[in-house]
């Protein structure tokens, strides 16, 4: 039994071919694309496209589908990147607490002059101030914070490459 692999260990990721990469590009640009449309654009049958997308989902390559939101129009007009220095080896604890913050959009453990980079969207500066001074700085493992107010932002949308379907028109 010692030679038997751990049944709970995740299977190693399967390699992706050019068709898989093309499917990913299409779905990144338009997550609502139909199976038929995807199949036509990558030149495979609908059954093949369906099976490939399901495999990409099962393997965790595609983690889900979501909408790109204009935060200002959605009532979250203030955005900021917040850098945090944290107690060594407290990443998992801090990450769980950061996930609970209202408006937290992205959390990254990084190397450099700080340990964590946090992107937040709040209704206004008052809500941002409350989040930083009351919520973040109350986390015992957070040693210091620095807030970088975002004046303007643009989310880059994935582009389809040459020969990979219809390129997105340039504005």
User: Domain check: are 25 and 89 in the same one?
Assistant: no
Angle between helices 18-29 and 35-42 in degrees, nearest 10: 130
- Give pLDDT tens digits for 135-161: 999 999 999 999 999 999 887 877 655
Structural domain that includes position 36: 18-58
User: Domain check: are 51 and 103 in the same one?
Assistant: no
pTM: 0.71
- Give pLDDT tens digits for 73-126: 888 899 999 999 999 999 999 999 999 999 999 999 999 999 999 999 999 999
The count of structural domains within the chain is 2
In a domain, 155, yes or no: no
- The residues, any chain, with a CB within 8 Å of residue 83's CB and separated by 6 or more, are 113, 114, 116, 117, 118, 145, 146, 148
In a domain, 10, yes or no: no
Least Cα distance to 58 among 6, 14, 23 occurs for 14
Q: How far apart are CA 36 and CA 20, in angstroms?
A: 15
User: Domain check: are 101 and 138 in the same one?
Assistant: yes
Looking at residue 96, which CATH number applies to its domain?
Answer: 3.30.70.920
Cβ count within 10 A of residue 152? 5
User: Domain check: are 84 and 127 in the same one?
Assistant: yes
User: Domain check: are 50 and 96 in the same one?
Assistant: no
């Amino acid at each position: 039994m010692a030679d038997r692999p751990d049944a709970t260990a995740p299977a190693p990721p399967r390699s992706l071919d050019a068709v898989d990469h093309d499917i990913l590009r299409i779905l990144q640009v338009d997550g609502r694309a139909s199976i038929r449309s995807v199949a036509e654009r990558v030149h495979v049958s609908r059954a093949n496209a369906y099976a490939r997308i399901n495999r990409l989902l099962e393997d965790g390559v595609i983690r889900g589908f979501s909408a790109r939101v204009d935060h200002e129009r959605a009532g979250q007009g203030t955005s900021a990147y917040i850098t945090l220095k944290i107690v060594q080896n407290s990443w998992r604890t801090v990450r769980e607490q950061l996930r609970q913050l209202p408006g937290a959009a992205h959390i990254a453990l990084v190397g450099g002059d700080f340990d964590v980079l946090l992107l937040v969207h709040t209704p206004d500066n008052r809500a941002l101030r409350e989040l930083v001074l009351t919520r973040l700085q109350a986390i015992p493992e957070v040693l210091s914070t620095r807030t970088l107010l975002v004046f303007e932002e643009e989310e880059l949308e994935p582009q389809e490459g040459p020969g990979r379907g219809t390129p997105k028109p340039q504005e």
